[in-house]
């Protein structure tokens, strides 16, 4: 695909390329621009005399073409290469590039961009085009932009040395680089190429024009990225490093209880945790309005306290507790349920803290302390569903780390909101960041050491309290023994003192 125009100055009018175009061209290599009009709907292949690009140059007087693969510019029909400094902005917007220093500063440096129409935008918090019911994808992509290690890996991803690379991984990296482009000509980005690659790879499970579940899309996409990242020339485990944790499951069966067998114990890896909502009330208030209950997120997390019994299947009981906490915790609030006729939505509002979500009490007591030194999380993304199950729409609240401000993004609409407003939304998928994750995505050792010291102090204090309780219990026994017969009293008192001395 290439850009064609009459004078070189016309390139400055170029905007981000749109969707695929000319069905006549199996290899879409070029798009073109004139100084008076922008042509984005046709694609031409080749530069020879018998190609559509050559014919278009003669018929429309669009002479300059940009190859979208190697970013080289040619003038047709003469077919010579053009080198001019005015092309740099066009080439950069076609393939934005970042250095490690640029990526390391994305979470700390405040950067603002200005579009050609004068509109201001914040790189990393730009709107995405809704290509007909693709809001589920837009919301999840915006959420993944807050996952620092994954974001940095995609921004620095170079597939030029990889043969037969995954188109989904390629287009996802391109989309991420455009979202964080501070030199973009527009303050919006189109995910069209990425969605086309997703539609083909998922066999139309996630496609343009059909609503889907953002959590299912997250699972499919992370599985795809994980498989592609295991390529020998990439050799990355970025998905598991970010999202994978472990939960301990104790399973008891009816037959095992009858025969006195101990429960089976297993540790299962997870990428997200599902929180079950209580049944919504079927009664209405005095004004004939449906009552919307509120429930704290800590009540839902009791599922993982190791004591609450969950009936997985008839005759099988399970208890869950957290064993290893991930860097980024993805929580799924189960709002939708299917019956024999239709899908129902539970409107219960889940109240949650935006800062300092403490999961220490849900970590198994036998888990090593150095495995989970930090158990507090901060919210970085919150996907909400509004409307009816089939006709609703997804939007997302994301935290802009450099300014510490929250933004609500609904496709192209980006507005700043208060944290209190985020905590009152109908959350569906949440992404929490562990507090020991540094702005560059690494682990902050200072935070880890401080957390370990605090944990040791807490354990020492707890042990001291237990010792005091033992002494108090022993003193109580001594008092009871003194009230007994005199013949037994001295002997029991000596035995008690020996036990305390030991």
* Alpha helix stretches (DSSP H) within 278-378: 297-301
Of 58-67, 106-115, 127-136, 238-247, minimum mean pLDDT range: 58-67
User: What integer is the mean pLDDT of 88-96?
Assistant: 83
Return left, alpha or beta for 117; rule: phi > 0 is left, psi -120 to 50 is alpha, else beta: alpha
Q: Tell me what pLDDT residue 493 has.
A: 37
Q: Using DSSP, state whether 294 is helix, strand or coil.
A: strand
User: What integer is the mean pLDDT of 329-342?
Assistant: 89
Confidence tier at 315 by pLDDT (50, 70, 90): confident
Spatial strand order in the sheet of 245-253 = 264-270, 245-253, 316-324, 310-313
Q: Using DSSP, state whether 358 is helix, strand or coil.
A: strand
Average pLDDT, the chain: 82
Of 185-199, 293-307, 455-469, minimum mean pLDDT range: 455-469
The length of the chain is 502
User: Could you tell me what percent of the chain has a pLDDT over 90?
Assistant: 48
**Could you tell me which residues come within 8 angstroms of residue 164 by beta carbon, excluding any fewer than 6 positions away?**
none
- Name the CA radius of gyration of the chain, rounded: 30
User: What integer is the mean pLDDT of 130-156?
Assistant: 95
**34-87 confidence digits (pLDDT tens):** 333 345 446 677 777 888 888 888 887 788 888 877 778 888 888 888 888 878
Which residue shows structure tokens 């429960």? Answer: 263
Which residue shows structure tokens 């080749």? Answer: 46
pTM: 0.81
State the CB neighbour count (10 A cutoff) for residue 453: 11
Q: Tell me what pLDDT residue 418 has.
A: 94
| Angle subtended at Cα 439 by Cα 422 and Cα 399, rounded to the nearest 5 degrees | 15
Q: Tell me what pLDDT residue 13 has.
A: 36
Query: Pairing mode, if any, of strands 80-82 and 113-114?
Result: unpaired
Q: Tell me what pLDDT residue 14 has.
A: 36
Task: State whether the Cα torsion 417-112-330-388 is positive or negative.
Answer: positive
Which residue shows structure tokens 């990889």? Answer: 162
Q: Is pLDDT at 488 greater than 70 in this prediction?
A: no
Confidence tier at 465 by pLDDT (50, 70, 90): low
How far is the C-alpha of 401 from the C-alpha of 108, rounded, in Å?
7
DSSP assignment string, 151-163: HHHHHT---TT-S
Higher model confidence: residue 485 or residue 155? 155
How far is the C-alpha of 436 from the C-alpha of 377, rounded, in Å?
9
Q: Tell me what pLDDT residue 234 has.
A: 83
Higher model confidence: residue 491 or residue 270? 270
Q: How far apart are the first and last CA of the chain?
A: 85
CA–CA distances in Å: residue 106 to residues 66, 248, 353: 30, 36, 25
**Six token digits for residue 289:** 């309005």
Which residue shows structure tokens 């780390």? Answer: 401
Of 78-92, 267-281, 425-439, minimum mean pLDDT range: 78-92
**Six token digits for residue 216:** 């299912």
Residue 71: name the closest of 55, 52, 90, 85 by CA.
90
Count Cα atoms within 13 angstroms, Cβ side, for 454: 12
Domains and CATH numbers, the chain: 32-94 (3.30.40.10), 223-279+292-459 (3.90.70.10)
**271-310 confidence digits (pLDDT tens):** 999 999 988 776 665 555 667 889 999 999 999 999 888 8
Q: Tell me what pLDDT residue 18 has.
A: 35
Which residue shows structure tokens 């037969």? Answer: 164
Answer yes or no: are the C-beta atoms of 22 and 42 closer than 8 Å.
yes
How far is the C-alpha of 202 from the C-alpha of 136, rounded, in Å?
15
Give 35-54 as a 3 state SS string.
CCCEEEEEEECCCCCCCHHH
Return left, alpha or beta for 133; rule: phi > 0 is left, psi -120 to 50 is alpha, else beta: left
Of 217-221, 260-264, 394-398, minimum mean pLDDT range: 260-264
Q: Using DSSP, state whether 320 is helix, strand or coil.
A: strand
User: What integer is the mean pLDDT of 415-442?
Assistant: 93
How far is the C-alpha of 70 from the C-alpha of 66, rounded, in Å?
9
**349-398 confidence digits (pLDDT tens):** 999 999 999 999 999 999 998 899 999 999 999 999 998 888 889 999 99
Answer yes or no: are the C-beta atoms of 392 and 386 closer than 8 Å.
yes
Cis peptide before 253 (omega within 30 of 0): no
**10-29 confidence digits (pLDDT tens):** 343 333 333 333 333 334 34
Q: Is pLDDT at 141 greater than 80 in this prediction?
A: yes
How far is the C-alpha of 134 from the C-alpha of 448, rounded, in Å?
40
How far is the C-alpha of 202 from the C-alpha of 20, rounded, in Å?
19
Q: Tell me what pLDDT residue 375 has.
A: 94
How far is the C-alpha of 29 from the C-alpha of 43, rounded, in Å?
7
């Amino acid at each position: 695909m290439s850009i064609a125009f009459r004078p070189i100055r016309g390139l400055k009018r170029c905007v981000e390329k749109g969707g695929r175009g000319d069905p006549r061209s199996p290899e879409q290599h070029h798009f073109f621009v004139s100084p008076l009009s922008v042509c984005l709907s046709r694609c031409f292949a080749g530069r020879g005399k018998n190609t559509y690009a050559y014919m278009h140059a003669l018929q429309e007087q669009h002479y300059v073409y940009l190859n979208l693969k190697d970013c080289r510019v040619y003038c047709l029909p003469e077919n010579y290469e053009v080198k001019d400094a005015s092309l740099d902005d066009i080439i950069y917007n076609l393939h934005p590039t970042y250095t490690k220093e640029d990526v390391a500063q994305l979470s700390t440096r405040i950067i603002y961009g200005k579009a050609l129409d004068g509109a201001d935008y914040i790189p990393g918090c730009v709107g995405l085009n809704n290509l007909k019911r693709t809001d589920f994808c837009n919301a999840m992509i915006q959420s993944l932009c807050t996952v620092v290690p994954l974001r940095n890996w995609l921004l620095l991803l170079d597939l030029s040395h990889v043969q037969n690379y995954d188109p989904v991984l390629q287009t996802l990296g391109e989309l991420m680089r455009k979202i964080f482009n501070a030199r973009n000509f527009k303050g919006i980005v189109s995910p069209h190429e990425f969605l086309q690659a997703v539609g083909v790879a998922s066999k139309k499970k996630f496609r343009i024009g059909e609503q889907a579940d953002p959590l299912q899309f997250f699972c499919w996409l992370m599985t795809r990225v994980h498989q592609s990242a295991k390529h020998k020339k990439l050799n990355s485990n970025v998905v598991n490093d970010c999202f994978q944790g472990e939960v301990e499951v104790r399973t008891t069966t009816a037959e095992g209880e009858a025969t006195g067998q101990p429960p089976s114990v297993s540790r299962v890896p997870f990428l997200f945790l599902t929180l079950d909502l209580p049944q919504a009330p079927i009664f209405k208030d005095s004004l004939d309005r449906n009552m919307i209950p509120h429930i704290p997120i800590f009540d839902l997390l009791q599922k993982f306290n190791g004591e609450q019994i969950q009936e997985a299947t008839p005759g099988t009981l399970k208890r869950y507790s957290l064993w290893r906490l991930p860097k980024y915790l993805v929580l799924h609030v189960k709002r939708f349920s299917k019956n024999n006729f239709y899908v129902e939505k539970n409107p219960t509002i889940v109240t949650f803290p935006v800062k300092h979500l403490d999961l220490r009490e849900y970590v198994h007591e036998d888990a090593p302390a150095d495995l989970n030194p930090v158990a507090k999380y901060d919210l970085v993304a919150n996907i909400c569903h509004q409307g009816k199950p089939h006709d609703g729409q997804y939007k997302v609240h994301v935290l802009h780390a450099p300014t510490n401000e929250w933004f609500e993004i609904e496709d192209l609409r980006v507005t700043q909101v208060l944290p209190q407003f985020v905590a009152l939304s109908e959350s569906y998928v949440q992404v929490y960041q562990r507090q020991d994750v540094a702005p560059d995505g690494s682990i902050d050792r200072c935070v880890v050491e401080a957390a370990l010291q605090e944990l040791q102090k807490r354990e020492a204090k707890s042990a001291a309290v237990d010792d005091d309780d033992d002494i108090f219990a022993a003193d109580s026994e001594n008092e009871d023994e003194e009230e007994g017969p005199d013949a037994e009293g001295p002997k029991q008192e000596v035995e008690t003192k020996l036990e305390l001395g030991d």
